[in-house]
Amino acid sequence: MLIYKVVETSQVDDLSLEKILNTWTAEGWQLEHIHFSMREASRRPGMAFVTFTREEEK
């Protein structure tokens, strides 16, 4: 059975995203997608949602 994990962060810089990716992939999760939520008055994203998947037995 495929299960999902979503990690939300407002720290959208390279080091914060690297930490999230390294932490969860070390736990056996595989990166599925990164979605950036943009701020209206800025070119930089205000938040990121990092989605991971993992196969798990019932």
In this structure, the dihedral spanned by the alpha carbons of residues 45, 52, 24 and 8, taken in order and rounded to 10 degrees, is 30
Query: What pLDDT was estimated at residue 57?
Result: 82
Instruction: Render each residue's pLDDT in the chain as its tens digit; 58 residues.
Output: 999 999 999 999 999 999 999 999 999 999 999 999 998 888 889 999 999 999 988 7
Catalogue all structural domains in the chain, each as residue range(s) with its CATH number.
Answer: 2-55 (3.30.1660)
Query: What pLDDT was estimated at residue 42?
Result: 83
Cα separations (Å) of 19 from 7, 8, 12, 35, 41? 12, 13, 11, 16, 27
Query: What pLDDT was estimated at residue 44?
Result: 86
Q: Judge if pTM exceeds 0.85.
A: yes
Query: What pLDDT was estimated at residue 41?
Result: 84
